[in-house]
Amino acid sequence: MEKQNKLAIIPLGGLGEIGKNMTVIRYGDDIVVLDCGLAFPEDEMLGIDLVIPDITYLLENQDKIRAVVITHGHEDHIGSLSYFLKQIDVPVYGTRLAMGIAEVRLKENNVANYTLIPIKPGDELTFGSIQVGFIQGNHSIPDVVGIYFRTPVGTIVHTGDFKIDYTPVDGKVIDLPKFAQLGNEGVLVLMSDSTNAERPGFTKSERTVGAVLDEAFNGAKGRILLATFASNVLRVQQAINSACKNGRKVAIIGRSMINVINIARELEYLLVPEGTIIDIDEIKNYPDNQILILTTGSQGEPMSALTRMALSDHRKVAITPSDTIIISATPIPGNEKSVSKTIDALLRLGAEVIHERSMGIHVSGHASQEELKLMLTLVRPQFLIPVHGEHRMLITHGKLAQDLGIPKENIFIGTNGQVFEFEQGVDGVTGKLAGKVTAGKVFVDGLGVGDVGNIVLRDRQMLSQDGVLIVVVTMDKGSGGIVAGPDLVSRGFVYVRESGSLMGEAKQQVKQALDKCEAGQVTEWAAIKTSIRDALGKFIYEKTRRRPIILPIIMEV
Amino acid sequence: MEKQNKLAIIPLGGLGEIGKNMTVIRYGDDIVVLDCGLAFPEDEMLGIDLVIPDITYLLENQDKIRAVVITHGHEDHIGSLSYFLKQIDVPVYGTRLAMGIAEVRLKENNVANYTLIPIKPGDELTFGSIQVGFIQGNHSIPDVVGIYFRTPVGTIVHTGDFKIDYTPVDGKVIDLPKFAQLGNEGVLVLMSDSTNAERPGFTKSERTVGAVLDEAFNGAKGRILLATFASNVLRVQQAINSACKNGRKVAIIGRSMINVINIARELEYLLVPEGTIIDIDEIKNYPDNQILILTTGSQGEPMSALTRMALSDHRKVAITPSDTIIISATPIPGNEKSVSKTIDALLRLGAEVIHERSMGIHVSGHASQEELKLMLTLVRPQFLIPVHGEHRMLITHGKLAQDLGIPKENIFIGTNGQVFEFEQGVDGVTGKLAGKVTAGKVFVDGLGVGDVGNIVLRDRQMLSQDGVLIVVVTMDKGSGGIVAGPDLVSRGFVYVRESGSLMGEAKQQVKQALDKCEAGQVTEWAAIKTSIRDALGKFIYEKTRRRPIILPIIMEV
């Protein structure tokens, strides 16, 4: 891939997984990076706050990076910028809204130096040998673009996250003619969103939600609380529209909801009539049927406003039986249970809850099968790289493309770090898998980036299952005799006050192990520790069938 | 509820939650317990193996308990028997298959004394003033019954877990005429399965899966691996039938699959032609297209056979690109992510995977809305208690019943421990909520039953997030001076080898805290420990934004 006349596409994230989208486009000495996202931790990543892509490859090739280009302002596409820009100083290009949201994050993370450059759909920029263009798209956030890259080997089209919405709320229909024009000119590679590749049919227009909201608002007798993704600005717009028609004031709860609404209003992506928005503390000044509360928590996140309300633990809002709660979102895979619990808790408080199963209160932001086929038909690429989705979705997307006549060998299903290489040959351009570069997950835990790895996670996993049992002994430096202890301290193992005899017996086991060491003239600390660990571990397992982490600590005086 | 002429229904589990089903029926001095199930732990129940119902109420009323009656052999209906029967010695009645499965569990759990009495649908038994009858049902396990209770106050009908299958694989159609007969005689209370109350329509017959399996088997060129619930004997039967038609031998993997198949064959619920089943070690003696492997792991359980295969970590079976893997099950809520990961891992190995989204490879064992309406229409109860499901499903079930004309005030949506009380009055029987009895979750962790409570779980939660940091100091008994230490040991906090300076600074913080104590003549250990914890906690949070559990330990010499 080092050769000058080769084009390389290297996804560093987002392939065969959800989140942390990042793709490297390289031709010769020019690199453009598409998106710079984060992922949220999976269940087994205990204590981890965020997951970002491993950018070793980019650090090694810093001098070649000309730009980062951003498709839209979702966290899984911009969320790593703070970490990236602290290490690599390059300009970032994206739509005004995406740049607005990114800037808030950069400031929050104390990133001092950054260059964010707003672009508009239709703009074209040149970075060395790579010409980059932006195409209007549709998605669950406004101001979203697909991006194409013209290179000496051929044109790459990346759809970004997209759906086809003929009647978008902001009137900005995805620029299908532009995709068609690129197709007519000839496209080498299409990289296309696979999230909904398993869904037959056509994703509904965002506008259809508006009518459903109107109906729900008309039916509500008390307050309405509506939870959705903060970034779904056009959903928020429709909720505010319904509130206005219904004579309701709008109060906003939840940090991310407040942030995004502020940016969106400032940049005029969200249009709110004067006097509509009130402070949450003012809601008591209005009758219940004149109130809409917009809130975060559509995913049942433990600390979110809606979850706190469901647990009667919110400082400002107490749910009552006359409230109608609308959850205008689908649970992201993995969140089903927490969403379900939130709904149950709200119902127990007597509230009416309108959620996803009740049809039409939410639509997806991703293209279903018929839209994917339409995109393939307009762009007619020589090669397809399905992106953005779990592995099985990429495969399904690939099968759809085969049905449309793209040869199987021209469909590349890859994993992160895979180098897809394209080269001009005698009979046209050939493409192949050409090795891998470093790629993977870097864990962010508090202020630590990458300092929690598999060893720490394995310990957390063990601690979470059966806790920890600490044995402390103070020994004489000269004689090796016990001066104090052994003392046993545990956390997360058993409730000690009710397990006095077990802990007493355990202490005896440690004493016996120490006596044995003394008798056998074992004086090496490591060996003594192993004896304690083995004897105690065996005893505890026999008595309880648990395996706490056993930590022997020897103090020397 | 102590009065002689009152009938009480007290659910101790299964109401507004998934699992651990148990209901008390009491009239005067006679108690019959319906089902005795367990639940699997939720994500936040760290290290817990099983959850069983709190049976305090039954222990207090042991002398009145005449019998336990079981609807079917699923773990959420029989899985607590081992714990129950160790404390309360009463006979257990259930179908042959349910009793067969229960007996295996009782033996595994070393329960010495038990009386399991097989019953057949149509049987009636008398326990004091309560007459109990069993009605043939349909579900995702054979030999399932609904149960009715005739009492002096009126008749209770409990559907058990049910669906209506007009063409069940074993030919045993749910005994709708019996439900109708009870309805004609007059039913006071119907307790009915709410699991699928949110699903419109009619649940498909188990038999429809057979045709889909046949087709999948015909299309497979190599080995077939089929994962389903071990207890879904009729699904297993259909898979074996398809294998036989297709000229395939059947090998079985997974302890629970082997157990259930053995019992089901022994009791003749599963009919397998001679020579069909082979040992897993024999599969290499047959061509790939003559092999079906039945396996556990349809829920992506970490230790299950299919998950191990997906991770190329199974001792006996290595997945190859010519394998077809059929996952004939739907993810139970909470398992979506692990199932999805298993599918992705299998696809990465190149195998063909047929899973739930491909229509028809699985059908539910629970009644959808039209079936629930049919049941309500046949039984025509005075009161409805929706059971078996999360709170919102109970509510939806209640709304369906209202549509059919049952007055809202006669529909009781309760929680575990609620006493539903019925009494003969002048104008007929009245029903009301009459207080609560002790009910809740008892955690089983290894051999411990109930010894892990909220304090231990909270510690495990904290340990899982940021680990533990232990500070040990040996101090002089007389002077209070430091003799050894402070030493710092951590687990699950940071990778210590790469955080030497942080740990060094942390040690300094502890030393300063100790110096301050000495200077201030603080000699109380508790106060010294608090100083250490505060100083270290603050330092660590500032440096890392993490909050490990800090455990100061002082040794005295």
Whether residue A176 has pLDDT greater than 50 = yes
Instruction: Map out the domains of chain A with their CATH numbers.
Output: 6-201+364-447 (3.60.15.10), 207-354 (3.40.50.10710), 455-556 (3.10.20.580)
Average pLDDT over residues B217-238: 95
pLDDT value at residue B3: 53
> Residue A201 has which token pair?
């049919």
Nearest CA in chain B to A197: B357
Mutation target vs B (from A413, A472, A542; most B CBs, 10 A cutoff): A472
- CA–CA separation, B511 vs B30, rounded Å? 67
- CA–CA separation, B275 vs B77, rounded Å? 34
A16 contacts in chain B (CB < 8 Å): 344, 348
- CA–CA separation, A294 vs A284, rounded Å? 16
pLDDT value at residue B1: 43
Whether residue A496 has pLDDT greater than 80 = no
Average pLDDT over residues A429-438: 95
User: Is A468 an interface residue toward B (CB < 8 Å)?
Assistant: yes
User: Is B359 an interface residue toward A (CB < 8 Å)?
Assistant: no
Provide the chain A residues 391-420 that lie in CB contact (below 8 A) with chain B: 391-392, 395, 415
- DSSP assignments along A282-305, one per residue: GGGGS-GGGEEEEES-TT--TTSH
Is B447's CB within 8 Å of A494's CB?
no
Q: How far is CA A121 from CA A93, B355, B496, in A?
A: 12, 40, 49
**Within its chain, how far is the Cα of B518 from the centroid?**
55
Tell me how long chain A is: 557
Percentage of residues in chain B having pLDDT higher than 70: 98
- CA–CA separation, A405 vs A420, rounded Å? 21
pLDDT value at residue A1: 43
Mutation target vs A (from B464, B487, B549; most A CBs, 10 A cutoff): B464
Provide the chain B residues 65-124 that lie in CB contact (below 8 A) with chain A: none
Average pLDDT over residues B115-138: 98
Look up residue A54 and give its amino acid: D
Alpha-helix runs per DSSP H in A224-330? 233-245, 255-266, 305-310
Residue keyed to tokens 């299309």: B219
What residues are paired with A448 via a beta bridge?
A445
Average pLDDT over residues A410-421: 96
pLDDT value at residue B296: 93
Contact A92, A77 (CB under 8 A): no
Between A198, A333, A491, which is nearest B551 by CB? A491
Provide the chain A residues 32-51 that lie in CB contact (below 8 A) with chain B: 42-43, 46-47
Is A464's CB within 8 Å of B460's CB?
yes
Show binding-site residues of B for substrate: 362-366
Average pLDDT over residues B494-507: 83
Average pLDDT over residues A207-220: 94
pLDDT value at residue A469: 95
Average pLDDT over residues B131-148: 97
> Residue A393 has which token pair?
């979705």
- CA–CA separation, B25 vs A159, rounded Å? 61
Give how far A117 is from chain B: nearest CA, Å: 32
Task: Give pLDDT tens digits for A373-389.
Answer: 999 999 999 999 999 99
Tell me how long chain B is: 557
- CA–CA separation, A346 vs A312, rounded Å? 9
More confident: A42 or B128: B128
Q: Which of the residues A139, A314, A366, A397 is marked catalytic?
A: A366
Is A468's CB within 8 Å of B491's CB?
yes
Task: Give pLDDT tens digits for B469-478.
Answer: 999 999 888 8
Burial of A380 (0-12, 13-18, 19+ CB in 10 A): middle
Mutation target vs B (from A443, A463, A471, A529; most B CBs, 10 A cutoff): A463
Backbone angles phi, psi at A87, to 5 degrees: -105, -35
Q: How many CB atoms lie within 10 A of CB A491?
A: 22
Between B348, B499, B551, which is nearest A470 by CB? B551
Mutation target vs A (from B394, B454, B474; most A CBs, 10 A cutoff): B474
Whether residue A507 has pLDDT greater than 70 = yes
- DSSP assignments along B125-162, one per residue: EEETTEEEEEEE--SSSSS-EEEEEE-SS-EEEE--S-
* Cα distance between the two ends of chain A: 61
Quote the ipTM score. 0.86
Q: Which pTM was predicted?
A: 0.90
> Residue A235 has which token pair?
């959903």
Contact B470, A551 (CB under 8 A): yes
A464 contacts in chain B (CB < 8 Å): 46-47, 460-461, 463-464
Is A392's CB within 8 Å of B344's CB?
yes
Contact B130, B123 (CB under 8 A): no
Beta-carbon contacts of residue A130 (< 8 Å; ≥ 6 apart): A25, A27, A30, A32, A66, A149, A150, A151
Confidence of residue A358 (pLDDT cuts 50, 70, 90): low
Tell me if residue A400 falls in helix, strand or coil: helix
> Residue B94 has which token pair?
């259930």
Average pLDDT over residues A326-331: 92
Burial B75-94 (b: 16+ CB within 10 A, else e): bbbbbbbbbbbbebebbbbb
Active site includes B397? no
Average pLDDT over residues B391-403: 96
Confidence of residue A284 (pLDDT cuts 50, 70, 90): very high
Q: Which of the residues B366, B388, B445, B466 is marked catalytic?
A: B366
Task: Give pLDDT tens digits for A245-273.
Answer: 999 999 999 999 999 999 999 999 999 99
Whether residue A2 has pLDDT greater than 60 = no
pLDDT value at residue B284: 94
Give chain B's mean pLDDT.
Answer: 94
Q: What is the largest CA-CA distance in chain A?
A: 88
pLDDT value at residue A357: 63
SS (H, E, C) A457-473: HHHHHHHHHHCEEEEEE
Beta-carbon contacts of residue A64 (< 8 Å; ≥ 6 apart): A26, A29, A30, A31
Whether residue A361 has pLDDT greater than 80 = yes
More confident: A480 or B531: B531
Q: How many CB atoms lie within 10 A of CB B181?
A: 13
H helix or E strand, kind and range, residue A483:
strand A482-491
- CA–CA separation, B52 vs B65, rounded Å? 19
Whether residue B331 has pLDDT greater than 60 = yes
DSSP class of B341? H
- CA–CA separation, B492 vs B548, rounded Å? 8
Active site includes A366? yes
Phi-psi region of B424 (alpha: psi -120 to 50; beta: other; left: phi over 0): beta
Task: Give pLDDT tens digits for A62-97.
Answer: 999 999 999 999 999 999 999 999 999 999 999 999
Residue keyed to tokens 């396990």: B141
User: Is B472 an interface residue toward A (CB < 8 Å)?
Assistant: yes
Q: How far is CA A3 from CA A6, A7, A10, A426, in A?
A: 6, 9, 15, 17
Show binding-site residues of B: 362-366
Strands A116-118 and A65-69 turn out to be unpaired
Tell me if residue B474 falls in helix, strand or coil: strand
Confidence of residue B523 (pLDDT cuts 50, 70, 90): confident
A366 annotated to bind ligand: yes
Backbone angles phi, psi at B232, to 5 degrees: -80, 70
Is A553's CB within 8 Å of B487's CB?
yes
- CA–CA separation, B12 vs B53, rounded Å? 6
Q: Which of the residues B175, B193, B323, B445 is marked catalytic?
A: B193
Handedness of CA B43, B45, B48, B51 (dihedral sign): negative
Whether residue A6 has pLDDT greater than 70 = yes
More confident: A118 or B484: A118
Burial of B274 (0-12, 13-18, 19+ CB in 10 A): exposed
Whether residue B520 has pLDDT greater than 90 = no
